[in-house]
Amino acid sequence: MLPGPVPGVGGVRLYVPGACVVSTRQLGQVTEALAQTVAARGVLCLYGDPGQGKTVALHQALSLLPRRLPVRCAQVAVKPGLPQLRAALLTAFGLPAPSLSNRADAADCALIDALTSPGVLVIDDVQRIAAPELDYLRLLVDAPSTQAALVLCGAGAERSLKRAPALASRVLTWQHTPRLEPSQVPGVLRLFHGLWDTALDEDLLHADATCARGNFRAWAKVTSHVYAALDRRPGTSVDHKLLAFASTRLGPTP
């Protein structure tokens, strides 16, 4: 667990003051996969259902890399065309995107040159990118001078890469981020926030089975609603009734 409160990691809100990033087994697997892929200067695909903690785990793993390795994060729009993807990559490297993104040869040369230095290029929400643009990433990876590792992250990233088999074949490491197992839930929640210290395991497991279903984002939301309820009524017990109330705030359950 990270020391002290962590209100958000990598732009991901944890929904409640005092929440901590928890070193789960899943986070450890992401850290190991990232370290191996970066050392090999390869390609990592990090995938899993929405809310499983992929981005939080990735940013924590990135923070553990040697400081000398630069990390560049490209922000992509939904279904970007090739000029828009080039612009996002140029911006990630601090290159002049407005003057280069529509000059294909110059932009390609600038990106290939930027990738000659060891480091990490991260593209989150890669499922937003269509197959032709994904193949452009493959061309950058294939450049003989490329020394940087590429991290492709997102819910459904593995399905998107199947539509770009040339890039998929270059992936060194496929890392799935699964749901929390029921046996993990009580311990992880108590590390995540101290308000769960007095909750009974059976109440937490019931809420997980009927509402959160091992989804960390769902548990972060439940934690936020329980925190607010305790703030409104100090001395309230974190019991089955309070958990049932907080769970209703997550919306209809199919």
Write down the domain spans for the chain.
Answer: 25-176, 182-248
Phi, psi of 12 (to 5 degrees): -95, 120
Q: How far apart are CA 123 and CA 88, in angstroms?
A: 10
3-state SS class at 130:
coil
pTM score over 0.75: yes
Please state, in angstroms and as integers, the Cα–Cα distance from residue 51 to each residue in 17, 47, 105, 155, 177, following that order: 19, 11, 39, 9, 10
Q: Is the pLDDT at 5 greater than 70, yes or no? A: no
Q: Spelled out in words, what is the top-level CATH class assigned to the domain 25-176?
A: alpha beta
Q: How many CB atoms lie within 10 A of CB 197?
A: 9
Please, are residues 117 and 6 in contact by the beta-carbon 8 Å criterion?
Answer: no
Q: How many CB atoms lie within 10 A of CB 89?
A: 25
Tens digits of residue pLDDT in 145-159: 999 999 999 999 999
Supply the pLDDT for residue 161.
96
Longest CA span, the chain: 66
Tens digits of residue pLDDT in 9-51: 444 455 688 888 888 899 999 999 999 999 999 999 999 999 9
